[in-house]
Amino acid sequence: MEGGGVGRRVVAVGAGLAGLGAAQRLGGHGSLRLLEAAGRIGGRVCTRPFALGLAEMGAHWIHGPSPGNPIFRLATSYGLLGPEAAREENQQAEVGGHPPLPSVTYGSSGKVLSPTAVSEVHHLFDTLLDSARAFRGAEELPAPSVGQYLRGEITQRVSTLGGGREDAQRLQLAILATCLKLECCISGTHSMDLVALEPFGEYVSLPGLDCTFPGGYSSLPDRMLSALPEGTVLLNKPVRTIRWRGSFCEEGDKTRDFPVRVECEDGDAFLADHVIITVPLGFLKERHQDFFQPPLPQQKAEAIRRLGFGTNNKIFLEFEKPFWDPQQQLLEVVWEDESPLEEPSTNLEANWFKKLIGFVILQPPDQHGHVLCGFIAGKESEYMETLSDEEVLGTMTHLLRTLTGNPHLPAPRRVLRSQWHSAPYTRGSYSYVAIGSSGDDIDALAQPLPEDPEDPRPLQLLFAGEATHRTFYSTTHGALLSGWREAERLNQLFKAPDPAPQV
């Protein structure tokens, strides 16, 4: 921080991609401090060792790896991506964030379902989903939520499903039920009935075939951290309260006062001119009333309440030998007695595992071992978090034996699962635009405080994090861009040149 920023103190709360991005663009020198509650950086980017390789507990892919994606540009400039991601064709592919993977679909009767039947239904679902995105800006809506709209469309077509044959129709409905569960994982919600229809099309998918980080997603925040001056980030420093609109002095120095005092759970306090808050929306939902003194203005508090923040978890299973064909990359699960037109069971204890959409097969096996990564969203996912590893492993073994029709299928050697809802400084996985909210709430959440632009002490509180990005919410690139945005807001105030290299 130079120029008009000399002597200004900035504190950022949270060392995920938004916080690290802000620090990167502010230059990381001067009096910048980044306070992180956890004992590690990265937040919802979290790579752990598992089996022969690595497991991504949080973010998995770069969604839309192409030059318009800042995560892709940064990762490329650091040399963190594999040769596939660098290919022009990969970057140009328009797949709407869902790369088609070679897959096999297991039915609950223990049989593999016909790939033609499955892909026909996927095609229908994708068409319906595209039509759901087209309501952006519409004054009149056929339904308030994406889920209700989709069910309405499915109801209208039900007689044509399966070519009029009852068993084929039932199977197509069951496959559609899985499609809806997959969409819950993508939107990070319990039910698509909670996701607002009108703003659904506002989320922007970038071109590019989704790719992973060969050395783990955490290699990105690690590189970002290494470019910051030592001591910028303080770990194990959970912030308890942010007092703003105040007049605080350092002990023994009455010559200067600061409008903000950031108090940590361990009793430490940091005085600042500006605080960039990057804590997850889940944390804000639970804690904002006590976290800010004075409390946030009503419009911001309402935006926090209205916007959605749900859970999507992963369950990694390591096997001694694969029971799947090495060509496959995805094992999908269909419960043949389910239908999107019927209410799902609310008995979590008996049925939580039926919400699991299937498993991604981690590739290549010589780097990962024989590992499946299951995805599960919603209340069932939150229930899974309360179970022991042994219980999850036992249920997964039973599930896979049912699906493969092989009662002797060997149990996985090991299990590792994420527990994002129980994580006290996250309280879920990512945000979505819930019924009753809109993109305007995302903008309201992103607005700095105090609201009055003429306030003599402007930009006391700035807000970043994935939930503050109107078109890229729920992603790593949304988080990074939001951090850059707030750093730029301060740079403008300081009128200092941006010291970070442009990528």
Q: Minimum Å distance from CB 476 to ligand 6YU? A: 4
207 binds ligand 6YU (CB under 6 A): no
CA distance 47 to 329: 20
**Dist. CA 279–CA 36, nearest whole Å:** 9
Residue 465 CB, nearest approach to ligand 6YU (Å)? 3
Nearer to ligand 6YU, 15 or 362 (CB): 15
474 binds ligand 6YU (CB under 6 A): yes
State in angstroms the smallest separation of the CB of 155 from ligand 6YU.
Answer: 22
Burial zone of 460 (CB within 10 Å; 0-12 exposed, 13-18 middle, 19+ buried): buried
Positions 10 through 29 that interact with ligand 6YU (CB under 6 A): 13-19
Q: Which two tokens stand for residue 123?
A: 């095609």
Cβ–Cβ under 8 Å, residues 55 and 316: yes
Told to check if 59 binds ligand 6YU by CB under 6 A, we report yes
Q: Cα-atom radius of gyration of the chain, to the nearest Å?
A: 24
Closer CB to ligand 6YU, residue 60 or residue 274? 60
Nearer to ligand 6YU, 104 or 315 (CB): 315
Does 80 sit near ligand 6YU (CB under 6 A)? no
Distance CA 205, CA 23 (A): 26
Of the residues 37, 209, 220, 357, which one makes contact with ligand 6YU according to CB under 6 A: 37
Does the footprint of ligand 6YU cover residue 197 (CB under 6 A)? Answer: no
Kindly report the length of the chain.
Answer: 503
Measured between alpha carbons, how far is 35 from 15 in angstroms, rounded to an integer?
7
Which part of the chain contacts ligand 6YU (CB under 6 A), choosing from 39-47, 247-255, 297-305, 388-396?
Answer: 39-47
Q: Could you tell me how many residues of this chain bind ligand 6YU (CB under 6 A)?
A: 43
Beta bridge partners of 360: 330, 373
* Cα dihedral: 432, 433, 436, 437 (round 10): 120
426 binds ligand 6YU (CB under 6 A): yes
Binding ligand 6YU by CB under 6 A: which of 174, 186, 445, 490? 186
Q: Residue 178 or 426: which CB sits closer to ligand 6YU?
A: 426
421: which 2 tokens? Answer: 């809802």
Q: Which of residues 250-289 bind ligand 6YU (CB under 6 A)?
A: 278-280, 283
State the binding string over 124-163 for ligand 6YU (x if CB under 6 A, else -).
----------------------------------------
Please spell the DSSP secondary structure of 306-319, one letter per residue.
HSEEE-EEEEEEEE
- Structure token pair of residue 503: 């990528």
Could you tell me which of 191, 190, 186 has the C-alpha nearest to residue 210? 186
For strand 103-107 and strand 233-234, is the pairing parallel, antiparallel, or unpaired? unpaired
Are the CB atoms for 432 and 185 separated by under 8 Å?
A: no
Which range in 36-44, 76-84, 359-367, 437-445 contacts ligand 6YU by CB under 6 A?
36-44
Q: Which residues bind ligand 6YU (CB under 6 A)?
A: 13-19, 35-38, 43-45, 58-61, 63, 186-187, 200, 203, 238-239, 278-280, 283, 312, 314, 418, 420, 425-426, 429-430, 465-466, 474-476, 479
